Structure 1
Amino acid sequence: MRYCSRILAFDCSIHFQWLGGIRVNTRKKATFKYHLTSFTFYGTSLVLYSLFFAIPAVLGFLYSFTSWNGISSEIHFVGLQNYKEVFTDRRFYNSIWNTLVITFIQVFFFNFVALLLAVFLEKSKIPQIKRVLRGLYFFPYIISYVIVAVIWNYMLNYREGVINIILEKIGLGFLAVDWLGSPSLVIFTMAGINIWAFIGFYLVIYMAALQTIPSSLYESSYIDGAGAFQAFRHITFPLVAPAFTVNAIISVAWGLNTFEPALILTQGGPGFASETISYYIYWAGFLGSRQGYGTAISFVLFLAILLISFVQVKLLRKREVEY
C-alpha cells in the first residue's frame, strides 16, 4: 500500500512537471511571437525611414562640402566654401526676406484668425450652419495643391481672370491688377492662396481644443459679470494654449518651407520677387546644377527651423495651463 502511494506520488510529480514545461514553452513561444511581430512592424518602419530619410540626409550633409553638380560621377571636396558663399549670397538674403514675409502673414492668419473663426463656429446656435461652414473651411485643405494653384492662376489672370473681370463689372476696375506679375503684390498673393488652402487645418485643431473646455467655466464667468472679451481672454485663450503652441510651430515650419506656390504659380518671378528659400534650394540644386551648394542652403534652413521651433516651444509652453 505504501509502495503504491509512492508510485502514485512519483507519477503525479512527473505529470505536473510536464504540464509546467508545456506552460513555459507556450509562454516562450508567445513571447517570441510578440517580439517577432513587434520587430516586423518596427523593423519595416526603421528600414523605410533609413532608406528615404536618414541615409539621404547623411549623404546630403556630406555633399554640402563638395562641388557636385548632381549628375557627374566626379565629386570634388571644397570644405566650407559652400557655407561661406551662402552667407555672402544676395539672392539667398532676398529669398529669406520673401520667406519671412509669407511666414509672418500666414502665422497671423493660421493662429489668431483661425482661433477667432473657431470660436465663432463653436458659439453658433444653429448646428447646420456650423457643419456647413466647418466643411467649407476644411474642404480646400483636402484638395491637391496643384489643383488649387491651377484654379487660382486662372482666377488671378490679369486679362482673363475672374477676379479682375468681376472688379471691372462692378465699377472697381481701378483695383484690377496683375496679382501674380506685380513685384510688390506677388508675395501677398501667394500668402493669400496658402491661407485659403490651409486655414481649415488649423481651424479644426482649434475647434477640437475648444470642445474640451467645460461649459461650466463660461457659466461661472458670466454669473460673475464677465463679458465675452473677458471670457475669451481668461478662459478660452489660456485653455487652448496647447493647440496654439502646436499651430504656431507647424505654421512657422510650413511658412519657412514654402515651395509649391513659387514653383507652380510664379517660378520665383517676376525677377526674384517671389523666390523663397525652398525654391532657391531647388533652383540651385536642380536648375543651376549646383547640388552641393543647394544642399548647404538646405542644411542652413534646417538649423534655422530647428532653432526657431526650440525657442517657440520654450516660450509658448509657459503660457499653457491645465484644468
Structure 2
Amino acid sequence: MHSGEGRDRDKEKVFVEHCKGVNGIDKVILREVRGCSAEVYLYGGQVTSWKNEYREELLFVSSKAIFKPPKAIRGGIPICFPQFGNQGSLEQHGFARNRLWSIDPDPPPFPTNNPNKAFIDLILKHSEEDMKIWPHRYEFRLRITLGPGGDLMLTSRIRNTNTDGKSFAFTFAYHTYFAVSDISEVRVEGLETLDYLDNLKDKVRFTEQGDAITFESEVDKVYLSTPTKIAILDHERKRTFVLRKDGLPDAVVWNPWDKKAKAMPDFGDDEYKHMLCVEAACVEKPIILKPGEEWRGRQEISAVPSSYCSGQLDPRKVLYTD
C-alpha cells in the first residue's frame, strides 16, 4: 500500500460515531486508527466497552446488566457522584450514573497540540428533581478520550454553580470494572503497605500487609493516600492494566465473590471470577467547592503485554518507568 493510500484511509476513518445502543439508548463509539475502540452510553455518561487493536474487550460488563433507566448499568466505568457509597438520602453511589447526559455544546478548552481525534465531551447539570434530594446547582463536564495507542482517559470537571452562596461537598469514584481471565490469578501492585478502610468490617482502618494484593474471597476496601499509578496484573492473559490518576487520592478495590454475586439480580453467579474493580476515587475526605470553584479529576487506563520473569511478572517495569 502506498503511503498516500494510507493517508486517505485515515481520512475516511470515523473517529466518533453517534448511534443507538441496547434498548435504543444513545451511545457514542470512539475509534482509533490502529483498531482500538470505546463505547460510551449517554445514559450514565458511562463507558461500556474498551477494546484493544486485537478487538479484545478490556472492561467487564455483566451478561445480566440492565440497560434500562433508572437502573445503573452493571459494568464498564460507572461514575459515582455526588457520593461514593451509601449515606443519607442519596441513592447508593449517587445519581450521575443513572441520569441521561448531554453532548456538551461548550466544552472547556484543552491543549490545542492534543493529537487525539477520538473524544467526546458530555455534560450533566442539576435538575429540579435532583435538587429535591441534593439541593445544589452544579455543572459536571466529562471528556472521554481514546488515545492513538489505545489508552482510555476520563477527565471530570465539576463546578459549583450555586447562586445562594453555598458551598457543597461530594465524594467521587470512577467505578472501573476490569475484565480479567481468572480473579485467583490476578494481583494488584502499588497499594502494598498502605492504610485502607475495610467496608466489610464497618470501615475500620487497617494497614495492607504483603507485597501485592491477591484474591481468594470477597474484597471491598478503600485504600488511602495512594500513588498516582497502580498496576493490575492478569497472569493468565499475560496482560497488565496500568491505572494513572490525578486529583483522586484514594483507590477502591472490589470483588463481590460468590455469595454476593448470587444475590445481585443484574450480575451472573460466576461472573465475579472474570472481573475486578479498581477505582480511582476520593472517598475519605470529601471535596468541598465554593460557588464558582471547579474540581478536576482524571483517570487514564492502558493495557500492556507483560511477560513472565522467573515465574513472576515484573511489575516494576510498569510501575516505575514512564
Question: TM-score range with shorter-chain normalisation?
Answer: under 0.3
When you count helix as a share of all residues, which structure comes out higher?
A: 1
Which one has a larger percent strand, Structure 1 or Structure 2? 2
Larger Rg: 1
TM-score, structure 2 as length reference: 0.23
